[in-house]
Amino acid sequence: MNRQGNPFRPGNGIMPPYLAGRESEVIWFENSLNSALFLPQNLVLSGIRGIGKTVLLRKFEEICAKKKWLFVRREFNNKLNREEEFLNALLTDIIAKTKGISLAKRLKKPVIGFSQGYEEDIEGDVISILIQKYKGPLSDRLEAILRKVYEAILEAGHNGLVLLYDEFHFLEDGKKADNFPLSLLLESFSHVQQEGLRYYLVLSGLPPLFPNLVKAKTYAERMFSVKSIGNLSKESSGKAIRLPLEKSNIIFTDELIDTIVEETQGYPYFLQFYPYYLIQNIPKKKVGLKEFNEMCPLLLKELDESFFSGRFNRASESEQRILFEMAKLGPEIKFSELREKAKIDKNYLNQILISLIEKGLIFRARRGKYKFTLPLLEKFLIRKR
């Protein structure tokens, strides 16, 4: 049960009580939306799991609304690597979003000729009808639709449309044979942006996202600004704990706050989890270091079970063995060193690493270098040993 007045909110994409330390990203985005009135802008937002990408996108939604830009947010997954399905998702977003400004109606009517009353029924077909209406390669069709939609966006008094696409590292060209969803997206958007149409791409995901884009189209380098978000500074971490507490009836001692900042290393998910857990489990108005130290083994156990184990257990036995080796070498692990430590065949190690990437435990930081997608996973692995 929730202890009354517990302000902290550990979770996935759940807005924290106070969004700490992202002031510069917020200001950057506001300015960028202003610039986008005159010059195309796109953003890649990257960082590991639980660092606060999704909640920052939610903050961006507020900014879009304030500045009169339409926006859509979508979470991507593996399945959308097929061009047709990707295009379908993209068009669904655009149509759904612009429906409110009766765009779908305008697009539908001349195409299908149904009276207004039928509109809801034929909703699902709009996309296929749209795609049929425009001929040629998928990218040409997408561009044609984007141009059409744009008129309606402007007519309705909006500055443009922002696509806030989350978990976008899942998208990769060539992942499914003969499917190039990233090329499709980049090509079409760069074309319409060159014509001055105000579409704005915000792509968010794990760090391999930007390299994936550049691999698809080298000009992606010039299309996107890249913001990597990381752990919060000590000062911001302190605020992330202190400010929400001020509005509750619970007090943490300064010592305790400093300790939490230290222990979590400013990792946003933990900055919610630690205080939340303490408040739930210590029925006192004032909590100090003594209570924390008593509670710590249980807190870590809960953290291991709820946060780390689930992912770790997805790995096979041989993969887990490699993870333990990696923990000793972290935070950035060199393939060659790992191979030496683990004493296994190069190809086999490669296979294991690919599988660990697919299971979302590690990512390739650079050529021949790997990192954990979860912070402090090394510590967890060492605890486990």
CA dist list (Å): 40 to 63, 133, 204 = 17, 28, 18
21 binds, among ligand ADP, Mg ion, none (CB under 5 to 8 A by kind): ligand ADP
User: Are 369 and 290 contacting, i.e. CB atoms less than 8 angstroms apart?
Assistant: no
Length of the chain: 385
When the beta carbons of 139 and 272 are compared against ligand ADP, the nearer one is 272
The site for ligand ADP (CB under 6 A) is made up of 9-14, 16, 19-22, 47, 49-55, 240, 268-269, 271-272
User: Are 41 and 200 contacting, i.e. CB atoms less than 8 angstroms apart?
Assistant: yes
Q: Does 46 engage in binding with Mg ion (CB under 5 A)?
A: no
Provide the minimum distance between the beta carbon of 160 and Mg ion in the complex, in angstroms, as a whole number.
24
When the beta carbons of 16 and 40 are compared against ligand ADP, the nearer one is 16
Provide the minimum distance between the beta carbon of 318 and ligand ADP in the complex, in angstroms, as a whole number.
28
Q: How many CB atoms lie within 10 A of CB 302?
A: 15
11 binds, among ligand ADP, Mg ion, none (CB under 5 to 8 A by kind): ligand ADP
271 binds, among ligand ADP, Mg ion, none (CB under 5 to 8 A by kind): ligand ADP
Within positions 47 to 66, which residues make up the interface with Mg ion, using CB under 5 A? 54
Axis crossing angle, helix 138-155 with helix 103-112, rounded to the nearest 10: 130
Q: Which of 31, 75, 42 is nearest to 198 (CA)?
A: 42
55 binds, among ligand ADP, Mg ion, none (CB under 5 to 8 A by kind): ligand ADP
141 binds, among ligand ADP, Mg ion, none (CB under 5 to 8 A by kind): none
Provide the minimum distance between the beta carbon of 218 and ligand ADP in the complex, in angstroms, as a whole number.
27
When the beta carbons of 130 and 362 are compared against Mg ion, the nearer one is 362
Provide the minimum distance between the beta carbon of 21 and ligand ADP in the complex, in angstroms, as a whole number.
5
Query: Contact residues for Mg ion (CB under 5 A)?
Result: 54
